[in-house]
Chains A and B, each alone.
Chain A
């Protein structure tokens, strides 16, 4: 799976990349690039690329107006960002008043802690990590503020016990994604959530101080998000992986220890190798050397591939999660919840119990006849003038 080379070059703006300047041959190509940058949340980096002469128009392709178009697109993105931060401050104040501890994930945390200028990092929702024992209370508090769950859980308590979390739509139209862990399915279940609460890094928004994950956990979350979050990874999380790694302040031993403890090495290897490949990063780094040579077990590779496979659906990954659950009791409760969910959960989904098993069985059958094609992303790119970052401990 590949990205438009020019959009990837925009995403790599400011990083040591082999992707050269973006040449724009026509106004229609400019429009295409602008739309892709908007869709991918890259308007800040697009403007920086324009400012630094990294976008080169050919033969009148950018006849006036293009900077204004890019500026307008970024203004719109920043307006959304500010409204989301307003929602974050309000939610943070509400939860703090109830004695609930949180960690801000992704967007605002990365914008303030990992970027030289927060305006370079757009985001489209707010993600909060809460402890499992606080989960139901947080949902209750947000529902009192007219937040509405995007989807009901299969059975009461399922999300708190087994799920990644839940998305809640606010009255303003923006969403808060509440997380119990960092990913859904088997790789999410294997994360030791206690590790996520062991440390933190603070930042301030609108006079309110928030806690984010500690730096190494934040990097790992970027890896999970890039590798498992979408069928085709979005460029912002891909850039987050590269940026966090290249800033040179990670305790790599701690990163490797956590990844191993979470059985997450297949995820981290894919995310790092893919970030270097997609963004054409020229700098060498010990973790990329490891990622390119890492070979997951057949089983781990097969499970990892489910997150990217078209048509897999929630059912297949949910079934794969069974093997990750720590006890027979957990597996029984998990399977029961998925097999006999509440009526509300089934509305608009698969209908009755028999139909749901049939759907999952058909997906399993489809996967069994496909060949596993993982490992493509782990082929190292050609090494042209590598640069040692000298940034590692």
Chain B
């Protein structure tokens, strides 16, 4: 399970486009399109450069009026794990 210190970045092999509801992705090795809406789209845009889960929580907390702790304990780890599982993002060397 992802911890706050783990860093992630977009997988550069992902094909993607901005759409009205968020971001449409076609990850490598899959024929299944993914639509990231709301905070999912924000995560995608934020991970243009490597960020740790803690840094990502800092970015999102400002936008969604929640605490970083809430994001780190309740939302981000599972979201990042799922994005990694689907090869939309990959673990990165901390910058």
Q: A206-B12, A207-B12 are in contact. Are A83 and B26 (CB under 8 A)?
A: yes
Q: Once bound together, how far apart are the Cα atoms of A117 and B33, in whole Å?
A: 20
Instruction: Give the shortest distance, in Å, between A203 (CB) and chain B (any CB).
Output: 13
Residues of A within 8 A of B16 (CB): 82
Residue B75, interface by CB 8 Å? no
A68 to chain B: closest residue by CB: B20
Q: A82-B26, A83-B26, A206-B28 are in contact. Are A71 and B18 (CB under 8 A)?
A: no
Residue A150, interface by CB 8 Å? no
Docked complex: A161-218 residues within 8 A CB-CB of B = 204-207
Contact B24 A86 (CB under 8 A): no
Digitize B15-53: 1 where CB-to-A-CB distance is under 8 Å, 0 elsewhere. Answer: 111111100111010000101000000000000000000
Residues of B within 8 A of A78 (CB): 17, 19, 24
B35 to chain A: closest residue by CB: A75
Residues of A within 8 A of B19 (CB): 71, 74-75, 78, 119
Instruction: Give the shortest distance, in Å, between B13 (CB) and chain A (any CB).
Output: 4
Residue A391, interface by CB 8 Å? no
Contact A205 B24 (CB under 8 A): no
Residues of A within 8 A of B15 (CB): 82, 85-86, 89, 205-206
Residue A380, interface by CB 8 Å? no
Contact A79 B14 (CB under 8 A): no
Residues of B within 8 A of A67 (CB): 20
Residues of B within 8 A of A207 (CB): 11-13
Residues of A within 8 A of B24 (CB): 75, 78-79, 82
* A71, A74, A89, A117 pick with most chain B CB within 10 angstroms: A74
Residues of B within 8 A of A74 (CB): 19-20
Contact B20 A47 (CB under 8 A): yes
Residue A341, interface by CB 8 Å? no
A-B CB pair tally, cutoff 8 Å: 48
Residue A81, interface by CB 8 Å? yes
Residue A118, interface by CB 8 Å? yes
Contact-residue bracket for chain A: 20 to 34
Residues of B within 8 A of A75 (CB): 19-21, 24, 35
Instruction: Give the shortest distance, in Å, between B35 (CB) and chain A (any CB).
Output: 8
B26 to chain A: closest residue by CB: A82
Q: Once bound together, how far apart are the Cα atoms of A140 and B21, in whole Å?
A: 41
Docked complex: A267-300 residues within 8 A CB-CB of B = none
Residues of B within 8 A of A89 (CB): 13, 15
Digitize A63-92: 1 where CB-to-B-CB distance is under 8 Å, 0 elsewhere. Answer: 000010011001100110111011001000
Instruction: Give the shortest distance, in Å, between A204 (CB) and chain B (any CB).
Output: 8
Residues of A within 8 A of B12 (CB): 204, 206-207
Docked complex: B40-88 residues within 8 A CB-CB of A = none
Q: Once bound together, how far apart are the Cα atoms of A119 and B20, in whole Å?
A: 10
Instruction: Give the shortest distance, in Å, between B30 (CB) and chain A (any CB).
Output: 10
Residues of B within 8 A of A81 (CB): 17
* A85, A89, A205, A206 pick with most chain B CB within 10 angstroms: A206
Contact B21 A71 (CB under 8 A): yes
Q: A86-B26, A206-B13, A206-B28 are in contact. Are A79 and B20 (CB under 8 A)?
A: no
Q: Once bound together, how far apart are the Cα atoms of A79 and B25, in whole Å?
A: 9
Residues of A within 8 A of B13 (CB): 89, 206-207
B14 to chain A: closest residue by CB: A206
Docked complex: A76-132 residues within 8 A CB-CB of B = 78-79, 81-83, 85-86, 89, 117-119
* A70, A78, A204 pick with most chain B CB within 10 angstroms: A78
Which of A70, A79, A118, A205 touches B33 (beta carbons < 8 Å)? A79
Digitize A34-74: 1 where CB-to-B-CB distance is under 8 Å, 0 elsewhere. Answer: 00000000000001000000000000000000010011001
Give me 16 other A-B pairs in contact (C-beta within 8 A), A82-B17, A86-B15 excluded: A71-B20, A71-B21, A75-B19, A75-B21, A75-B35, A78-B17, A78-B19, A81-B17, A82-B33, A83-B26, A86-B26, A89-B13, A118-B17, A119-B17, A119-B19, A206-B14
Binding site for B on A (CB under 8 A): 47, 67, 70-71, 74-75, 78-79, 81-83, 85-86, 89, 117-119, 204-207
Give 24 pairs: A residue, B residue, CB < 8 Å, sorted on A: A70-B20, A71-B19, A74-B19, A74-B20, A75-B19, A78-B19, A79-B24, A81-B17, A82-B15, A82-B16, A82-B24, A82-B33, A86-B15, A86-B26, A89-B13, A89-B15, A118-B17, A119-B17, A119-B19, A204-B12, A206-B12, A206-B14, A207-B11, A207-B13
